[in-house]
Amino acid sequence: MQIAYNRFQKWNLLFFEKATLKSVGLRVQLGHPATERCSLPQRAFNDDFVVIDSGGVHEIGLDFCGCEKSIPKTIQLLRHRLFPATVVDPKSAATFGVLESFQLLTFTSKVSGYEFYRALARRTDNTGVDPPPVREYYIEGTEPKTH
C-alpha cells in the first residue's frame, strides 16, 4: 500500500483547512482485489485506523473482509503490505516501506524507534500544535491511557 503525503486540505466555504485522508472520504477495503466489492465489509475497531508511512502518520477509514471465506484481519493487513501493531482488533499498522526505512536508518545511524516516530509525526504536522494521535494502550490492572 502506498500512501501520499499528509498535506491534505479541504475547502470549508471560507478557507482551506487541514484534513485527514479519512475526513476526505478515503476507505480502504482489504481482502478483495481492487475491482471487487466485499459483500460484508467490517469496519476497523471503532472505525479508527492509523497508518504509519514514510510520508507521516495518517488516519484512514479501513474495512476488513467479513465474507464467509475471509481470512484473519492480521493476514489481510499483511497481504496489503501493512504490518499490524497488534494481532487482536488492530487499530494501527506500519507500511513495509516505513519499516524498511527504519531498519536502514537503525543500521547506519543508530536512530531509535522513538526518534524515528517523532520525525514522522513532525512530517505529518511540523507546527507541533496538533501532533498525530497516539492511540489508547492498556497496562495490566489499569484503565486505558491516552497520550
Residue-level pLDDT at 133: 62
Residue 2: pLDDT over 60: no
CB atoms near residue 79 (< 10 Å): 11
Stated pTM of the model: 0.76
Residue-wise pLDDT tens digits, 66-107 = 998 889 999 999 999 999 999 888 999 999 999 999 999 999
- 4-8, 56-60, 86-90, 93-97: the lowest-pLDDT one: 4-8
What is the model's pLDDT at position 136? 47
Write out the residue range of the structural domain in which residue 24 sits.
Answer: 8-124
In a domain, 67, yes or no: yes
Residue 141 lies in a domain: no
Is there a domain that residue 65 lies in?
A: yes
Look at residue 138 and tell me if it is in a domain: no
Would residue 143 count as lying in a domain? no
- 78, part of any domain: yes
Q: Which residues contact 20 (CB under 8 A, 6 or more apart)?
A: 6, 8, 58, 59, 60
| CB of 21 closer than 8 Å to CB of 67 | no
DSSP state at residue 95: E
Number of domains the chain contains: 1
Task: State yes or no: pLDDT of 6 exceeds 70.
Answer: no
Residue 53 lies in a domain: yes
